[in-house]
Amino acid sequence: MSEKNTILKGGAMPRHIGIIMDGNGRWAKKRGLPRVAGHKEGAENFKRIAEHLVDLNIEVSTFYAFSTENWKRPAAEVNNIMSLLVDYLVEWQGMRKDKNMRFRFIGDRSAFSDRIQKLMADVEEKSSVYSNQLNLALNYGARDELARAFNLLYEEHKSPITPDDISRALYTKDQPDVDLIIRTGGEKRLSNFLLFQSAYAELFFTDKYWPDIKNEDIDEAILFFQNKDRRFGGLTQGR
Ligand code: IPE
Ligand code: IPE
Ligand code: MG
């Protein structure tokens, strides 16, 4: 066993990992393929990496698949992503038990077709007996999520509002804050992803495009996490 594996298994695991799956378009362009080919390969890779995270027994994994800003793209690209989404939702309806994946779709669903909304509800319902939580962020934007949370608290006549109140009004309610965010594709920004939940997240960036990401890259990010001194504003123990 390599030293790498030893550290990974022995160290503290992040409870919640967020992944910004960026670089599908550039992956395709590099191969002379249309952008949609990158999205297809990216979706296949999502399935592989999601299985790896379940194998590692990560409690919650959040994958950023489509942002509130991604509607700005050409209609043909958006339509293609939507049709890929339908295919995968249909596949997940028949998800095998041994995968142990519990789905939650986070984001504003009202923008999706009735068919997609029904599929999302069905996949969530059918997978609710499993334990490893997979959040798929679709039409998700952290600013949108926060505005929605404040509106919910306002309707509850909640006053004063505490950070814990906000936390339980987010799509990620009942889930731990994100410990580690991985962004692929070379950019070092959050692009409206989990802004509230990431207050003390460790940030791991890689230049690799999402479809090229392998299990070992995820392990490398977890090792990076395990070597961090997480102080949360306090001091390292013993100093
Ligand atoms: C991420 O890949 C997937 C989505 C945002 C839907 P991109 O499509 O952003 O790929 P690049 O960044 O253009 O290469
Ligand atoms: C972030 O990627 C959103 C997803 C991965 C779904 P983008 O490609 O949309 O982000 P920007 O435009 O580079 O910030
Ligand atoms: Mg991008």
Could you read off the pLDDT of 43-98 as tens digits, one per residue? 999 999 999 999 999 999 999 999 999 999 999 999 999 999 999 999 998 877 66
Contact 179 CB / ligand 2 (< 6 Å): no
Structural Rg of the chain based on CA atoms? 18
As a whole-number percent, the residues of the chain with pLDDT over 70 amount to 95
Instruction: Give 10 or 159, the one with higher predicted confidence.
Output: 159
Q: Is the CB of 41 under 6 A from ligand 1?
A: no
Identity at 22, one-letter amino acid code = D
Nearest CA to ligand 1 atom 13: 25
The alpha carbon of 212 and the centre of ligand 3 are apart by a number of angstroms equal to 14
pLDDT of residue 11: 82
70 part of the active site:
yes
Q: Provide the whole-model pTM.
A: 0.96
Q: Identify which of 20, 26, 187, 205 to mutate to test ligand 1's pocket (most ligand atoms within 8 A of the CB).
A: 26
Considering every ligand atom, which ligand is closest to the CA of 24?
A: 1
* Domain assignments of the chain as residue spans, ordered by start: 12-141+177-226
Which residues 6+ apart lie within 8 Å of 2 measured at CB? none
Write out the CATH class of domain 12-141+177-226.
Answer: alpha beta
Instruction: Give the model's pLDDT for residue 158.
Output: 86
Is residue 119 classed exposed, middle or buried when 0-12, 13-18 and 19+ CB atoms within 10 A define those classes? buried
- The verdict on the CB of residue 66 being under 6 Å from ligand 1 is yes
Is 5 among the catalytic positions?
Answer: no
What residue has token string 């997609």? 116
